């Protein structure tokens, strides 16, 4: 029987209340949800699985207020491995601590062993590859949610240089893995994984992470954007497009954090229909998604990075049962477009027209469209179906 070790950076529920107030910027909520969905999917098919997290918190002192992340056992076979979080040291500490845990785990377990590494985190990937080299019974699978060179909007020369160096090292490690789970098919070619066993899973719907309350829709035509407020994700395009709508019964709700936050707060002072609700806990965001009339993902298909990303908010939007408006993106499978409204271009005028078109539709019709989107992800993207795909991948 194959033994599984999942090595990631999710936030156990027991830790989330201390992680949020200690984070100086937004936490990686989407990555947290995806990891937990993968873990749940694995547990449906593998009896012997160990879960290890070195939490994906920001470095100290710039993005997190704690210099040391403490170890703790959450439940049997579920551990948080502590590390030194000081910037410049955390990279090495993550490697040392993850390697120590993997070594102990490998020595204790007999038979076939599979290490599943979430994300292209070099310290974790290096530790897993070295364990595989030392023990021929170990195989390594890597879950790749993003390509490193596209994970930030920073453009300065030093940052690009470091990212390129990191990517060169990552590609070297990837030649030594046994399988991968990627979010889009374009990743396989970009990472030269054609000769590996690969599985494309853009996301996983888990009902337990989608606690949408039953609330009444606002009488006003409320449009919601929730997520990272980075310019490259189109949030400012959404704000400018909304400004073209002059009717007073429209509202634009925005929640999240990012490099466009201050610009949005400034615009809110001039257009009181635009309401910035701040950085909210997940349960409040889910409530707003249910309360709004329509949800918008304004990210355009401009830029190479759209091939290598599936916007996590698409799954969350569909799960809410509230209809959504999106652009066609290379990273989104075509089947999703059957359950949402698609913008016919990248201009502010077209986005504004689409928002008005949708908001003027009968409530019952919108409800039916949102319900179909919910049923789609619930029936075809759930943990049982996606977990079965992972099970077959690891047993090829």
- Given this model, what pLDDT does residue 148 score? 82
pLDDT attached to residue 32: 94
pLDDT number for residue 212 = 61
Least confident of 61-70, 196-205, 275-284: 275-284
Of 75, 85, 86, 123, give the one whose Cα is nearest residue 101: 123
- Burial of residue 356 (CB within 10 Å: 0-12, 13-18, 19+) is middle
The pLDDT confidence band at residue 213, using thresholds 50, 70 and 90, is low
> Tens digit of pLDDT for each residue in 121-164?
999 999 999 999 999 999 999 999 999 877 665 556 666 666 77
Lowest mean pLDDT among 67-81, 278-292, 339-353: 278-292
| pLDDT value of position 17 | 86
Give residues with Cβ within 8 angstroms of 276, minimum separation 6: 254, 255, 261, 264, 265, 268
Predicted confidence (pLDDT) per residue in 150-200, tens digit? 766 555 666 666 677 788 899 999 999 999 999 999 999 999 999 999 999
Q: Identify the band that residue 211 occupies on the pLDDT scale cut at 50, 70 and 90.
A: low
Q: Quote the tokens at residue 378.
A: 């619930």
pLDDT mean over 380-393: 97
pLDDT for the residue 345: 84
Would residue 66 be called left, alpha or beta, if left means φ above 0 and alpha means ψ between -120 and 50 degrees? beta
Mean pLDDT, to the nearest integer, of 355-362? Answer: 97
Q: Which residue matches tokens 């066993």?
A: 197
pTM of the model: 0.94
Considering the chain, what is the average pLDDT of its residues? 93
Q: How far apart are CA 280 and CA 286, in angstroms?
A: 10
User: Residue 393 — very low, low, confident or very high, per pLDDT cuts 50/70/90?
Assistant: very high
Q: What is the spatial distance between Cα 369 and Cα 131, in angstroms, rounded to a whole number? A: 49
Question: pLDDT: is 282 or 161 the higher one?
Answer: 282
User: Residue 42: is its pLDDT beyond 70?
Assistant: yes
Which helix (H) or strand (E) segment is 331 a member of?
none
Q: Is the dihedral of CA 28, 31, 37, 39 positive or negative?
A: negative
Whether 296 has a pLDDT exceeding 80, the answer reads: yes
- Measured in whole angstroms, the distance separating CA 101 from the mean position of its chain's CA atoms is 26
What percent of the chain is modeled with pLDDT above 90?
Answer: 82
d(CA 289, CA 323): 10
Categorize the per-residue pLDDT at 214 as very low, low, confident or very high, splitting at 50, 70 and 90.
low
Query: 263 with 236: CB under 8 angstroms?
Result: yes
Which pLDDT does position 164 carry in this prediction? 73
Residue 192 token pair: 């030269």
Q: What is the mean pLDDT of residues 303-309?
A: 91
Average pLDDT (324-335) is 96
Q: What are phi and psi of 202, to 5 degrees?
A: -75, -30
Quote the DSSP letter at residue 64: B
Cα 338 from Cα 342, distance rounded (Å):
9
Q: Which residue has the higher pLDDT, 158 or 351?
A: 351
pLDDT value at residue 255: 95
């Amino acid at each position: 029987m194959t033994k599984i070790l999942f090595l990631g950076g999710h936030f156990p529920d027991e830790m989330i209340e201390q992680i949020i107030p200690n984070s100086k910027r937004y936490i990686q909520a989407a990555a947290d949800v995806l990891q937990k969905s993968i873990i749940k999917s694995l547990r449906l098919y593998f009896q012997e699985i160990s879960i290890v997290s070195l939490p994906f918190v920001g470095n100290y002192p710039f993005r997190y207020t704690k210099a040391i992340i403490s170890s703790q056992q959450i439940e049997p076979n579920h551990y948080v491995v502590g590390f030194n979080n000081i910037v410049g040291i955390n990279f090495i500490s993550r490697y040392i601590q993850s390697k120590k845990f993997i070594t102990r785990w490998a020595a204790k377990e007999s038979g076939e062993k599979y290490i599943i590494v979430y994300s292209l985190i070099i310290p974790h990937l290096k530790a897993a590859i070295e364990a595989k080299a030392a023990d021929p019974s170990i195989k390594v699978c890597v879950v790749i949610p993003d390509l490193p060179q596209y994970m930030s909007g920073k453009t300065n020369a030093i940052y690009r240089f470091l990212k390129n160096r990191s990517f060169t090292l990552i590609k070297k490690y990837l030649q030594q893995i046994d399988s991968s789970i990627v979010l889009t098919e374009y990743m396989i070619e970009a990472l030269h994984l054609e000769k590996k066993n690969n599985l494309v899973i853009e996301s996983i719907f888990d009902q337990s992470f989608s606690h949408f309350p039953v609330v009444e829709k606002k009488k006003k035509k409320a449009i919601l954007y929730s997520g990272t407020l980075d310019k490259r994700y189109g949030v400012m395009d959404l704000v400018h497009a909304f400004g073209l709508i002059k009717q007073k019964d429209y509202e634009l709700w925005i929640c999240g954090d990012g490099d466009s936050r201050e610009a949005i707060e400034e615009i809110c002072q001039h257009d009181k229909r635009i309401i910035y609700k701040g950085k909210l806990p997940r349960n409040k965001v889910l409530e707003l998604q249910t309360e709004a009339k329509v949800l918008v993902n304004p990210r355009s298909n401009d830029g190479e990075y759209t091939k290598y990303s599936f916007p996590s908010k698409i799954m969350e939007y569909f799960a809410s049962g509230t209809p959504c408006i999106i652009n066609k993106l290379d990273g989104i499978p075509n089947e999703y477009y059957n359950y949402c409204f698609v913008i016919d271009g990248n201009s502010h005028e077209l986005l504004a027209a689409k928002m008005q078109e949708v908001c003027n539709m009968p409530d019952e019709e919108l409800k039916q469209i949102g319900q179909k989107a919910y049923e789609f992800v619930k029936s075809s993207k759930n943990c049982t179906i996606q977990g079965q795909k992972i099970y077959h991948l690891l047993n090829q």
